[in-house]
Amino acid sequence: MNARVPISRPKLVVVGNGMAGMRTVEELLKLAPDAYEITVFGSEPHPNYNRILLSPVLAGEQTIDEIILNPREWYAENGIALHAGRTITSIDRARRIVATADGTAAPYDRLLLATGSSPFILPIPGNDLPGVITYRDIADTETMIAAARAHRHAVVIGGGLLGLEAANGLKLRGMDVTVVHLMPWLMERQLDRTAAQMLQQSLEAKGLAFRLEAKTEALIKGESGRVASVRLASGETLAADLVVMAVGIRPNFALAKSAGLHCDRGIVVNDTLQTFDPRVYAIGECVAHRGLTYGLVAPLFEMAKVCANHLAGYGIGRYAGSQVSTKLKVTGVDLFSAGDFTGGTDTEEIVLADPAGGVYKKLVIRNDKLVGGVLYGDTADGAWYFKLVRDGRSIAEIRDRLMFGEANLGDTGHQGQSRALAMADDAEVCGCNGVCKGTIVKGIKEKGLFTLDDVRKHTKASSSCGSCTGLVEQLLMATAGGDYSAPAKLKPLCGCTDRNHQEVRDAIREGHLLSIPATMRFLEWRTENGCATCRPALNYYLISTWPKEALDDPQSRFINERAHANIQKDGTYSVIPRMWGGETNSSELRRIADVVDKYQIRTVKVTGGQRIDLLGVKKADLPAVWADLDMPSGHAYAKALRTVKTCVGSEWCRFGTQDSTTMGQDLERALWRMYAPHKVKLAVSGCPRNCAESGIKDVGVIGVDSGWEIYVAGNGGIKTEVAQFLVKVKTSEEVLEYSGAFLQLYREEGWYLERTVHYVARVGLDHVKRKVLDDADNRRALWERLQFTLDGEPDPWHDMAKARIDTRQFEALAIA
């Protein structure tokens, strides 16, 4: 593949071989593998490792080898020159050269500073004694492990996240540990007082001792020359053979500053992670962005993505700051906090406190949005709450259930489990792909997976039906400390672009874009002709936004919508003809029976949508089967209107109040051939006994004596969701208009592959009501636009030319 690599490439030098720097390089390699000749300098003698997992190493739960993220082979494979154990001491920006103290120099065209941070050393007497260390890297960890073997007493100064993890690890390695903390309660930057006290109690039960509101005055030398004790301002003296300072970190910006780059508490960068010298980028704990510095890993990853994009020359994307969450990695202590958990005068709190049961939860809400929270004792829903914080969506409609957690966890496929941590290692999490908990946890640890997408790609868990997504997120949270993917709102549509679904929809509408190539050009797609993820989405957005103008592109549709039948595991297809409202007759049944015999169809199955499924049809037979059936396409293969399920209603039923069958048939005739972001199912019941199961449909209609009730956004699949009441109307014409208007709104605003339940959860039922109920003109306009779209739409089974079906697909090429 050398042919495509230009002989002389620009040089990228990365100063800092930690998580931020290497994540940026990884992202860059994904976007533009050959753009640079890359050289990496790192002060530590190790390849890049997962610093977050040093605590489990200290606690003896993992080894150093297990937390290496990029082994040396990775650098070699990607042609990266690695100088591990070499510290850059000067930058000559005029000549564009960096150099180490021993004179090793490297020229650069672009420079990336990822120098991280250093632990803060208290300016007290004795801070340089042997046995006094900080907690930052592998060397510190190894020193602590060695000290635990030879010594007895340890004092950890600092009761924050890092200090407590260090204290716990040293305790587990057999030392007597006292934590000295300046503030009135532990982890005051992540916890409120109540949660902190519960934490303290459980750590005390593990044998740790605490001195709160205690100031360290001096470290006293013993006879051996090593530290022997710690003297507090109160006068108390604590025996100490090992002192770990964990009182905070300071961004490392001395190097940048000495090179004349503007620094203020960190290396100052803009939203593209550029410093004041446009050739020099900076990222991670060493930077100050919009006046803030970050010490957690999630923001680094968000920065890395943006920085890599600009280094690759795409110039898309800005870093706008991060929401952060914290998970204490002390086995047996469940603690989670995120966002603004202290609140203020403009916030409200929902609190659940069960001190005896060891559970405390506080959720902080501002303007109907979850802005932060603290969980103690039961953190299973941490991932979900954190997602709500990042997505910033309104929680008004779920407020009453919010405290009880996870609403997006599927109901099936994992034995009803909703608490991943309580599951055994061999318990199946993903019922589709048969992935058990142990495999996922192992993958997260060994492959260094940080996002849900990573886990999906590498383990296949949660990659099919998605029912177990919540459980996988819980495992990510527990193992890696959180799901570090971008919030859904900002998530790019796919790897071909940095645009999200909404931006693409908006651009197609505002730019009057009419084809996939035009859209890709306009939005600067990175790939020549997209991928299997973006093309179907773009095709739908085009035809739904510009009906009769944008041409359908069958090659950008999934096979089912290209062949107008459902592909099966053996490569044959299933055919489901439409039966209006689930009603059929002898002549249709006779034709079906004849087709089954003539084409030797193996299985005939009654579907849940009141139709008949013919399974095992050879692709070559499809056109003939359709013709012989002489029934309309059931669109059972499409992101489109599927069925309108009905009960027999007042025509037959002694309880029926309305003619639900006719209503259902009218709806189906009005709405069939309607493509949508996802499949759409309707039901009409003739009385509140609701035999057609209207409560779990995208649109469910229930007849009552005085008219019809319309429910929307129900779902009977992965996650059973009860439909929400939209409106009650009197006439069947109104049922058509209101249902049609709701579905058109969903067609125009929904993101591809978003079911109505998720669409309504995203925009809020109030939004739907404003557009469909309150504004009668808008409702009629929506309904008219849907009718305009559907007018003249062909039945693909019987008008293949108009439906743009490529009939060559039904004929195989024969060889002599």
- Dist. CA 365–CA 400, nearest whole Å: 13
- Which residue of 398, 558, 604, 753 would you call a contact of other proteins, by CB under 8 A? 558
CB of 743 within 8 A of CB of 674? yes
CB of 665 within 8 A of CB of 708? no
Q: Which of residues 417-476 bind other proteins (CB under 8 A)?
A: 457-458, 464
Q: Is 796 in the site for other proteins (CB under 8 A)?
A: no
- Dist. CA 182–CA 159, nearest whole Å: 8
Q: Is 774 in the site for other proteins (CB under 8 A)?
A: no
Distant-in-sequence contacts of 328-331, Cβ < 8 A, 24+ apart? 328/161, 328/164, 328/165, 328/187, 328/199, 329/52, 329/53, 329/55, 329/56, 329/165, 329/481, 330/55, 330/59, 330/164, 330/165, 330/168, 330/203, 331/59, 331/61, 331/168
CB of 285 within 8 A of CB of 310? no
- Least Å distance between CB 661 and other proteins? 36
> Do the bridges between strand 641-646 and strand 680-685 make them parallel or antiparallel, or are there none, so unpaired?
parallel
Q: Which of residues 570-589 bind other proteins (CB under 8 A)?
A: 571
- Least Å distance between CB 757 and other proteins? 23
Q: Is 530 in the site for other proteins (CB under 8 A)?
A: yes
- Which residue of 567, 596, 722, 763 would you call a contact of other proteins, by CB under 8 A? 567
> Do the bridges between strand 348-354 and strand 359-366 make them parallel or antiparallel, or are there none, so unpaired?
antiparallel
Looking at beta carbons only, is 494 or 596 nearer to other proteins? 494
Assign 3-class secondary structure to 322-333. CCCEEECCECCE
- Which residue of 18, 339, 536, 686 would you call a contact of other proteins, by CB under 8 A? 536
Looking at beta carbons only, is 116 or 530 nearer to other proteins? 530
- Least Å distance between CB 520 and other proteins? 11
- Which residue of 65, 213, 651, 811 would you call a contact of other proteins, by CB under 8 A? 811
**In the numeric block, which tokens belong to residue 240?**
């100490």
- Which residue of 351, 559, 615, 727 would you call a contact of other proteins, by CB under 8 A? 559
Sole window of 179-187, 277-285, 339-347, 806-814 interacting with other proteins (rule: CB under 8 A): 806-814
Q: Is 600 in the site for other proteins (CB under 8 A)?
A: no
- Dist. CA 93–CA 277, nearest whole Å: 8
Looking at beta carbons only, is 11 or 447 nearer to other proteins? 447
β-strand partners of 216: 232
Q: Is 398 in the site for other proteins (CB under 8 A)?
A: no
- Least Å distance between CB 578 and other proteins? 23
Which letter does DSSP use for residue 685 in this model?
Answer: E
Number of chain positions touching other proteins (CB under 8 A): 31
Sole window of 93-101, 105-113, 566-574, 630-638 interacting with other proteins (rule: CB under 8 A): 566-574
Looking at beta carbons only, is 324 or 496 nearer to other proteins? 496
Q: Is 535 in the site for other proteins (CB under 8 A)?
A: yes
314 in the Ramachandran plot: left (φ > 0), alpha (ψ -120 to 50) or beta?
alpha
Sole window of 139-147, 234-242, 554-562, 575-583 interacting with other proteins (rule: CB under 8 A): 554-562
Q: Can you point out the beta strands (E) in 599-660?
A: 603-606, 612-617, 641-646
- Least Å distance between CB 614 and other proteins? 19
Q: Is 806 in the site for other proteins (CB under 8 A)?
A: yes
Sole window of 29-37, 172-180, 376-384, 556-564 interacting with other proteins (rule: CB under 8 A): 556-564
**In the numeric block, which tokens belong to residue 197?**
């006290």
Ramachandran angles phi, psi of 639, nearest 5°: -80, 85
State the distance between the two ends of the chain, measured CA to CA, in whole angstroms: 37
- Dist. CA 337–CA 190, nearest whole Å: 6
Looking at beta carbons only, is 562 or 678 nearer to other proteins? 562
Q: Is 769 in the site for other proteins (CB under 8 A)?
A: no
Looking at beta carbons only, is 122 or 516 nearer to other proteins? 516
- Dist. CA 319–CA 307, nearest whole Å: 8
> Do the bridges between strand 132-134 and strand 242-245 make them parallel or antiparallel, or are there none, so unpaired?
parallel
- Least Å distance between CB 806 and other proteins? 5
CB atoms within 10 A of CB 600: 10
Looking at beta carbons only, is 318 or 457 nearer to other proteins? 457
Q: Which of residues 706-765 bind other proteins (CB under 8 A)?
A: none
Q: Which of residues 470-529 bind other proteins (CB under 8 A)?
A: 527-529
Name the residues that contact other proteins, by CB under 8 A: 457-458, 464, 527-532, 535-536, 555-559, 562-563, 567, 569, 571, 806-809, 811-816
